[in-house]
Structure formats: C-alpha cells, structure tokens
Structure 1
Amino acid sequence: MKSRSKITSLLALLFCTLFSAQDSLKISAKEFISIVKIYHPLAVKYQLQNKIAASEITRARGNFDPVLSGKLGEKNIDGVQYYRQKNLELGIPTWYGIDITGSYNYLEGEKLNNSDTKGGLYQFGVTVPLAKNLLYDKRRAMLEQSRYALKMTEAEQAVLTNDLLLEAENTYWEWVKNFELYQLQRRAVAINKNRLELTKKTYQFGERPAIDTVEAASQLQSFQLQERDAFLNFVKSTQELQLFLWKDNRELYDLTAMIYPSDSTGNSEAFSNFEMLVQNVEEQNLDQHFSLLYYFQKENILESERRLKWQSFLPKLDFTYNFFNKENYRADYLPLFDSNFQYGLKLEIPIFQREARANYEVARLKLAQNTLDTQIKRRELETKIQTYKNEILNYHTQIDIARENLTNYQRLLQAEETRYSNGESSLFLINSRENKMIDAQEKFILLNNKFLKSYNKLKWMRENFLYNNGNSK
C-alpha cells in the first residue's frame, strides 16, 4: 500500500508539473547526445580502455630499456679477506635480438678463484642469436602485438561508443513519441470535454435526446483512460531517458522537474537527409568499418604469434663474445681473438619438438578461426546495411501514405460535424470518425518513430567507418 501511494503521489506531482512548468526544461536530440558522449560512464570507460592499450605499448617498449646494475660485496672470515668486489654493468637489448653489455669490475682478496682477475677490469660484450630469435623474438613480438592491440582496441571502443549513442538517441525518440501520443490524447480529452458540455446544453434546450449526453460522456471517458495510459508511458520513457543523463562528477542526474523534448518526430533533419545518408553508406569501403578493422588487427596479432611460434622449430644457437681490458693498461682491440677475450657458443635442439609443433598448430588454427569470424562479420554488416536501407525507404513511403490517410480522416470528421450541426448526422457517427482520425494520428506518429530509429541505425553505422564522407546528422 505504501508503494502504491508513493507511485500515485509521484504521478500526481508529474501530472501537475506537466501543466504548470511545461516550458521549464527542454532538451533536443543533439544536446542529449552531446551529454551522453561526454558524461556517460560507459563512454568514459571506453576512452580509458584506449589509454590502457596505449600504456601496453609503453610496457612492451620496456623490454628494450637499457639496464644499469651495480654490485658491492666482501667476504671476511677470521681476519682473512677472501674477496672484496665492486661491479658496475650496463646491458643494452637491441631490436634485432642482439644484447650488448659493458661493465667495470674491481676485485681483490686472498682467496680468489684461479679464473678471477685481480684489480680493475673493463669488459665489453655482445650476444648474437644465430638461429632462433635472430629474425624474430618475444621482445619484438610483444611490441608489435601491443601496437596492433591499440588499433584493435580503438576500433572496438569506437563501435561500442557508437552503439551506446545509438541506444541513447533511439531512447530519446521513443521518449518524444510517447510525449506526442500523450499530447494527442490530451487534445482529444479537451475536445470531448467541450463536446460533452455543448451536448448537455443542447439537451437542456430540448434540441438533442438524453442518450447523446451518454454517448458524449462515454467517448470522453474512453479518451481519459487512454490519456492516463499515455501519460504513464511518457513517465516511464522519461525515467529510461534519465539513465543516460549523468553529471561531470559521474553522478546520475536527478531530475527535480519534468523535462520535455524540443524536437518532434515530424521535424527531424532525417527526413531531408536520408537519401544522402543511404548514398553515403553505399559508397563506403566495407573494409574500413571498425568491426572489420578489429578483426584485421587481431589477424596481425595472431600472425605475429605464429611467426614467434615458428622460431621454436629453429635450434637455439647463441654466440657470445667479451672483450677485456685491465685498468691502467692500453687497450688492444684487434685482433679480436688474439688476447683479452672470452667467447662462447651455446646450442640447444629439442629432439621431438612436440611443444613447438603444438604451439605452432594452435597459432595457425587461431588464424583460421579469425578468418571465419571476419567473413561472418562482413556478411553481417552487408545484411544490416541493406536491411536498414530498406527500412528507411519503406517507412518513408508509408509515412507519405499515412499523411494522406490522416488528411482524409480529418476531412471526414469535419464533414460529419457539419452534417451534425445541420441535424443530418448523429453523435455516434462523429465519435466513430474521431476514433478513426485519432488512430490515424497515432499510426502517423508511430511510423515517424520507426523511420527515425532505422535512420539512426544507418547513421551510427556510418560513424563506424574509419573514413566516412559526411558528418553525423
């Protein structure tokens, strides 16, 4: 009971607001979309996702960052200094898998290994992969994949953002439709109230039978019921519209008064721009649609992974060379393998290569899956474009027919009212004509709404092309 009382009070408040402050706050479709685009949490979330993807590129570049390291240590037991060591090293990874190192090491002590060198020692070294990781390695793959992932994310977020704006705009026009239907029922109630009063007076003057007052009252009550239902639908759609209205502090906008549309379904720019929109979408290159660009970038990532997995078939053969020079000694760089050097050659060959074969097969199959997904998405986009285009053209034709039909019903009602005033008709026929006209008006509003929703679907699909030739209308 409390819940019902609360709802009744809310409806009463909104109903009173409608009559007292109808011009207090109005919003257009463009203003509404701008608010959603800037303040809606999902729109902000999609922008943040792009920033996350951009940060992943920076993370991947970190694999190529030079590393500076230092070490200081000493071992002393029973007054015997085993060793005292100072070490400073710089490692530089390069794009082609070659690692360059440079270091300075100072070592002294009484218990050193025979292979250790006392005093200060400078070292310059290089490690070169001769087979696996020479042409491609994990560091390069991660950086390339992160770049592709950014483009992939941008395409995905663009589609999601435009889907959000499409849903928001169609919610706006659904709200406008319910408002116009409510206004239509309000006018019908006002007209029938006047008709009932006039019928009562003519009955009192003996010009009309008493049954005409019953007929007029029944018609009025019917429209009053429809008016209440239309008002409830308008309130519900207002609440749905409110879900898209957010403040800059990410708080839901709490409406303190009713808001009203400043646009109407009959004066939208869509009616003058739909032919240009259809032509513009037909001229677009489907490969430039963000949904397909998403799969193209995914294919690049999977191809990078396949190339990386192919490296596992190659033997791991790494060559390392280090040049040494003692502190306070003149450096003698050439020949490289004469003195003051160290080199190593390391070879690893998996015997069965089961893991390599399995990983490569998985990468290849994922590429095949992505190709199928791309073909499905392409077909889906082609079908949607054709469907939306047919809907727009069909609804526009229906609107022209409905407009003529509505005009005819208005003429029939006017003619019936003239006949009634001349005593040649009945209130029953007038009500019948009026009901037909109201139905035609509702049909006209509903067709306009369907046309606008189909137009918006095609419009926001056009916004999903990377290079579209027009601006949003």
Structure 2
Amino acid sequence: MNLKGMKKQNKALFILIFFFFQYGTAQDSLTLSAQEFISIVKNYHPLAMKYQLQNKIAHSEITRARGGFDPVLSGKLGEKNIDGTPYYRQKNLELGIPTWYGIDITAGYNHLEGEKLNSSDTKGGLYSFGISVPLAKNLLYDKRRAMLDQAKFALKMTEAEQSVLTNELLLEAENTYWEWVQNFEIYQLQAKAVEINRKRLHLIKKTFEYGERAAIDTVEAQSQLQSFELKQKEAYLNFIKSTQQLQLFLWKDNREIYEITQLIYPGDNLSDHSAYSDFEFLLREFRNKEVNNHLSILYYNQKHYILESERRLKWQSFLPKLDFMYNFFNKENYPSDYLPLFDNNFQYGLKLEIPVFQREAKANYQMAKMKIEQNSFDTQLKKRELDIKIETYKNELTNYQIQISLSQNNFVNYQKLLTAEETKYSNGESSLFLINSRENKMIDAQEKFISVRTKFLKSYNKLKWMKENFTL
C-alpha cells in the first residue's frame, strides 16, 4: 500500500473511532488484553514473519555451502565427420567426488574411435580412476570448507540477531499497549471529573435559585466544568492517537491490516499487572545473569568465528600451490594391473605456482586480521552497553516502585483534603474556589499516579524482554 493510501486509511480510522466514541454508545464493543495483543504480534506481524524467514534463509545458506561437496556426474557425446571421413566418435562418462580435505576423486569411462585421432588419444574403451591432492595450499583449509563453516556460524549469528530483534518488537508492542491503557484510564478519569462537576453545577444553580448561594459560585462551578471538559477532550484525543499507534501492530494471518470497525477497549488495567508482585523476582534473576550469555554477544562471537575462518583461508595464500594428480587407466576387455602404480597404465602430474611478491596475499591477510580486531572492539562496546542498560532498567524499576507508593499516598491525601473541604463547604465554612483547588490537585495527583504506574510497567517490560535475550 502506498503512502497516500495509508494516510487516507488512518484518517478514516480516526473519524471512525471518533464517531464511535462520541455517538456510538449503542454499538457493540470489543476488549483486547495484553496477552491477546502480544500473541497477535508474535504470529502475524510482518516483522516477526520477516525474522523467521531470515532464519530459514540462513539454513538454506548451509545447504548451498554443502553443495560444494556434492558429487558431479558428467557425460559427453560427440562425433566429427568431414567428406565422409569419420574423424572421431566419442562417448564419455565421468563422476567427480570432492572430499572434505581438498582431495578430489574421479572415475570415468571413455570410448573413442575414428580415423583422425590424436597420437595421445587411446582408441577403444578406457576406464580411469584418478585422484587430485593439494600438497601445500588448500590442504589444511580451502574455500569449500570455509564456506560451509561460515554458513554454520552465520546460522547461529542470524538466529541470535533475529531473536533480539523479535524481542525488541514485542517490547515496543507491549509498551504501546500499556500507553494505550494509560491514556484510556486518564480519559476515564477526566470523564468522571466532568460528570461530577456537571452535577455540582446543577446543584449550585438550584441553591442559587433558592437564594442559598451567591451568583459568583455558579461562575466558579461553570469555569471548573469547562476546564475539565477541555482536559477530557485532550485526554480523548490522546486515547485516539494511541489507538492508532496500537493498530500498527494488529495484522491478520493473511498479512492484511486488521481494521478496527468496532469500539475497542483495553482488557487489562494498570493496577492488575503481575509486575507489582513479580519485579523483585526479576531483579533477583539478573544477579546471576552473565552478559557473555546475551544473544547480542553470541552474535559477535559467531561473527568472530566467521572472520577467523576468513583469516585461515587468506593465510593459505602464503603457501605455494602444489597440486599432485594421478590417474590409473585400464583398457576395456583387458585384465587389470593396479600395482605398481607408476609401472604401467597411468598418468600423473605435479603443478607448482609461487607468487613472487605475495602483495595480494599480505593485504588480504592483514585486512582479515583487522576485521577481527574491529569485531573485538564492537564486542567490548556491546558488553558495556548491556551492562549499562541492565543497571539503568533495574534502577528505573526500583525508583518507580518507590514513586508509585509516594504518588499513591499523595493522591489519598489530596482525596482526604477534598472530602474535608467539601464538608466545610456544606457547613458554610469554606468556598467553592477552595473545593475546586483541592479537586484540581487531586486529579493531577491521580494522573501522576497513573503515569508513574505506566513508567514502572515499561521499565519492567524492558528488563523482562532483556531477560529473554539471555541463553541458558
């Protein structure tokens, strides 16, 4: 879907939700719990699917690397005839078998006949068995083995990376959910305040009509109501925005966007989360967590193995290329005579190549070593980053837990002050201005209480999903 289409869709969603919340009280509504939401993200979000496909691609890379050791069967059929003279007719079948240690084994059958053959060609049927052995370069390590090793390391590297990315996606999704819950609870708080102040204004107007209150009290009550109505509209807008943000994570199994066509409310409350009782156990778990066991460090360790494999391969370039090749032949319908190997029916070759200056080999080897050193620096930085993150999340969690207790007490105290002020007002010992002032502070304290709870849950989630990135 193009950007223009997405904008139209978001605009339509906004209008739809606005209509439902303002005028759709008769419509059915849906609730969405945090567990259901995370399950949807895990199973249907495109990024989660993409990360799973990346792991499958890494498995396929191993299969492709193993293809370098696959036997190769080849055949050849040919004939040459000029002016009725049959120069040659040839049938050839050969099987090549590469082995792990760089040795190649071949076996074949060749049938050749004609009147214009080369003097080195053997007429008739000829069986052959051959072997090619690197005696220096590529004996201990070669490109085929390096590709397979690197593919295996890359699989573990990819699995670690995709696990970290998946957990980051789930962390973002869960925190988005609790921000949505926070905005909904604040909206409910402001809606309740509006309802209370409407009743208060109605009551004060009645008492003014009976001559028990001054006219200025109706103005005071009206101003307070309008203030809360403005806050309610702002809270409602924030809730709508967070609902739109939530929709970014909602997808169907056919990779289509999940359209919200009904009222949708949070199925969980901030106060019901298990984090308030479980956070101490989570903190205790991290006392025994070694940063070296984090999947991000596993990623860099596997990358080190890949770079080390490349270094070993580059080191082979310093060795001279010395290859030995031997073929044993046996003519068709002739008895076999295998031994001694260099007595009859054989072919061998010895090939030597030595780069004079080896400048390319030196440069490649130095670059391979420097890449290993770079990865070592990256690993050290990542360890330090993880240490700081863990300590930061732990400190945040502990601090917000204390703030929750303080903000709750603060809210309760303001609630008591408001109740006391209302009692004094009913006895004629206070004013509506003081009641409104107490009420404003109580609402602000309650909003602060909701906000601190959300911050606590978000810090808890950061630490919880960080724990998921540690290997056993």
Same fold at TM > 0.5: yes
The structure-2 alpha-carbon separation of the partners of 1:272 and 1:146, relative to structure 1 and needing over 3 Å to count, comes to same
Note if 1:69 corresponds to 2:85. no
Query: Which whole-Å CA distance do the structure 1 matches of 2:283 and 2:273 have between them?
Result: 16
Helix, strand or coil: the match of 1:25?
A: strand
Q: Deviations over 1:357-390 (max 9, x none)?
A: 0000000000000000000000000000000000
Which residue among 93, 96, 100 is the counterpart of 1:91? 96
Match of 1:348 in 2: 353
Query: Which whole-Å CA distance do the structure 2 matches of 1:7 and 1:381 have between them?
Result: 39
Helix, strand or coil: the match of 1:339?
A: coil
Match of 1:441 in 2: 446
Note if 1:412 corresponds to 2:422. no
Letter of the aligned partner of 1:40 in structure 2? Answer: H
Which residue among 406, 428, 432 is the counterpart of 1:401? 406
The structure-2 alpha-carbon separation of the partners of 1:82 and 1:12, relative to structure 1 and needing over 3 Å to count, comes to closer
Note if 1:169 corresponds to 2:174. yes
**1:17 offset after TM fit, Å?**
5.6
Question: Is 2:13–2:260's contact at 8 Å kept on the other side of the alignment?
Answer: no
The correspondence of residues 49-448 of structure 1 with structure 2, limited to 5 A, is 49-448=54-453
Query: Which whole-Å CA distance do the structure 2 matches of 1:92 and 1:319 have between them?
Result: 16
Match of 2:20 in 1: 14
Question: Is 2:16–2:261's contact at 8 Å kept on the other side of the alignment?
Answer: no
What is the percentage of aligned positions where both structures have the same residue?
72
Query: Which whole-Å CA distance do the structure 1 matches of 2:224 and 2:291 have between them?
Result: 55
The correspondence of residues 15-54 of structure 1 with structure 2, limited to 5 A, is 15-16=21-22, 19-21=25-27, 24-54=29-59
Helix, strand or coil: the match of 1:122?
A: strand
Question: Is 1:177–1:446's contact at 8 Å kept on the other side of the alignment?
Answer: yes
Q: Deviations over 1:38-68 (max 9, x none)?
A: 0000000000000001000000000000000
Letter of the aligned partner of 2:388 in structure 1? Answer: T
Question: Is 1:17–1:257's contact at 8 Å kept on the other side of the alignment?
Answer: no
Helix, strand or coil: the match of 1:259?
A: strand
The structure-2 alpha-carbon separation of the partners of 1:59 and 1:12, relative to structure 1 and needing over 3 Å to count, comes to closer
Letter of the aligned partner of 1:147 in structure 2? Answer: K
Query: Which whole-Å CA distance do the structure 1 matches of 2:13 and 2:283 have between them?
Result: 45
**1:15 offset after TM fit, Å?**
2.1
Helix, strand or coil: the match of 2:226?
A: helix
Contiguous gaps of at least 5 residues in structure 2: 1-7
**1:235 offset after TM fit, Å?**
0.3
How many aligned positions are there?
A: 464
Query: Which whole-Å CA distance do the structure 2 matches of 1:126 and 1:280 have between them?
Result: 58
Query: Which whole-Å CA distance do the structure 2 matches of 1:121 and 1:398 have between them?
Result: 90
Q: Deviations over 1:316-357 (max 9, x none)?
A: 000000000000011111111110111100000000000000
Helix, strand or coil: the match of 2:106?
A: strand
TM-score under structure 1 normalisation?
Answer: 0.96
Query: Which whole-Å CA distance do the structure 2 matches of 1:185 and 1:409 have between them?
Result: 16
Query: Which whole-Å CA distance do the structure 1 matches of 2:315 and 2:174 have between them?
Result: 49
Q: Deviations over 1:85-136 (max 9, x none)?
A: 0000000000000000000000000011111101000000000000000000
Match of 2:5 in 1: none
Question: Is 1:131–1:315's contact at 8 Å kept on the other side of the alignment?
Answer: yes
Query: Which whole-Å CA distance do the structure 2 matches of 1:152 and 1:459 have between them?
Result: 22
The CA RMSD over aligned residues, in Å, is: 1.5
Question: Is 1:83–1:111's contact at 8 Å kept on the other side of the alignment?
Answer: yes
Match of 2:4 in 1: none
Query: Which whole-Å CA distance do the structure 1 matches of 2:16 and 2:114 have between them?
Result: 89
